[in-house]
Chain A
Amino acid sequence: MALAGSYSAMGGCTFMIKRAMADSDPNAVSEQHRVIPRREVPLVPPDAIASRALVTVIAIMTFLASLTAGAAIMVNGVSRDWRQDVSREMTIQVKPTAGRNIDQDLRKAEELARETTGVAEVRSFSKAESEKLLEPWLGAGLELGELPVPRMIVLRLSVDTPLDAAQLRASLARLAPGAILDDHKLWIERLGTMSQTMVLVAVVIFFLVLIAMALAVAFATRGAMAGSREVINVLHFVGARDSYIARQFQRHFLLLGLRGGVIGALAAVGAFILASLLSTRWMANFGGDQLEALFGTFSLGAAGYVSTAVIAVAVAVLTGLTSRSVVFRHLQGLE
Chain B
Amino acid sequence: MVRFNNVGLRYGMGPEVLRDLTFSIEPQSFQFLTGPSGAGKTTLLRLILLSLQPTRGFIRLFGKDAATLEKDEITALRRRIGVVFQDFRLLDHLTTYENVALPLRVQGRDEASYRAEVIELLGWVGLGERMHALPSVLSGGEKQRAAIARALIVRPELLLADEPTGNVDPSLARRLLRLFLELHRSGTSVVIATHDLGLMDQFDGARRLVLGDGRLHIYD
User: Is A45 a contact of B92 with CB atoms below 8 Å?
Assistant: yes
Residues of B whose CB lies within 8 Å of any CB of A are 49, 51, 71-72, 75-76, 78-79, 83, 85, 89, 91-95, 97-98, 102-103, 105-108, 111, 115-117, 119-129, 131-132, 150, 153-155, 172, 175, 178-179, 181-183, 185-187
Q: Please, could you name 17 A-B residue pairs with CB atoms under 8 Å apart, sorted by A? A: A4-B117, A13-B183, A13-B186, A17-B124, A20-B178, A20-B179, A24-B126, A25-B129, A27-B128, A29-B123, A33-B119, A36-B111, A45-B91, A231-B91, A237-B51, A240-B106, A241-B72
Partner of A31, one of B122, B175, B185: B122
A41 CB–B CB distance under 8 Å: yes
Interface size of A as a range: 35 or more
Q: Is the CB of A244 within 8 A of B123?
A: no
Task: State the main secondary structure of chain B at its contact with A.
Answer: helix
| Contact partner, B71, options A11, A237, A242, Cβ 8 Å | A242
With a cutoff of 8 Å between Cβ atoms, the chain A residues found around residue B119 in the complex are: 31-34, 36
The answer to whether A41 and B117 touch (CB under 8 A), given A21-B175, A235-B106, A236-B78, is no
Contact of A239 among B98, B107, B126 (CB under 8 A): B107
Least CB distance from A225 to B in Å reads: 15
- Kindly report which residue of chain B lies nearest to residue A40, judged by CB atoms: B111
CA distance A29 to B107 in the complex (A): 27
A335 to B71, CA, bound (A): 9
User: Is A2 on the interface with B (CB-CB < 8 A)?
Assistant: yes
Residues of chain B lying within 8 A (CB to CB) of residue A45: 91-93
Contact partner, A2, options B79, B107, B117, B186, Cβ 8 Å? B117
Q: Are B97 and A36 in contact (CB under 8 A)?
A: yes
Point out the residues of chain B lying under 8 angstroms from A233, CB to CB.
89
Q: Cβ of A6 and Cβ of B155 under 8 Å apart?
A: yes
Chain A residues whose C-beta falls within 8 Å of the C-beta of B129 in the assembled complex: 25, 27, 31
Q: Residue A38 at the B interface, CB < 8 A?
A: yes
Of the candidates B71, B132, B153, B186, the one having the most CB atoms from chain A within 10 angstroms of its own CB is: B186
Partner of A38 from the list B51, B91, B95, B187 (CB cut-off 8 Å) is: B95
- Chain A residues near B126 (CB, 8 Å)? 21, 24-25, 28
CB distance from B142 to the nearest CB of A (A): 10
Check B131 against A34 for contact (C-beta < 8 Å): yes
For B89, what are the chain A residues with a Cβ–Cβ distance below 8 Å? 230, 233-234, 237
Contacts of B155 in A (CB 8 A): 3, 6-7
Contacts of B132 in A (CB 8 A): 36, 38
Please determine whether A244 and B108 come into contact, CB atoms closer than 8 angstroms: yes
Contact of B79 among A28, A31, A239 (CB under 8 A): A239
A16 interface contact, C-beta 8 A: yes
A-B interface, 4 closest residue pairs, ranked by CB to CB distance from nearest: A31-B128, A25-B126, A28-B123, A240-B106
- 8 A-B pairs besides A40-B105, A45-B92, A239-B75 with CB distance below 8 A are A13-B182, A13-B185, A20-B175, A21-B126, A28-B123, A34-B119, A41-B94, A234-B102
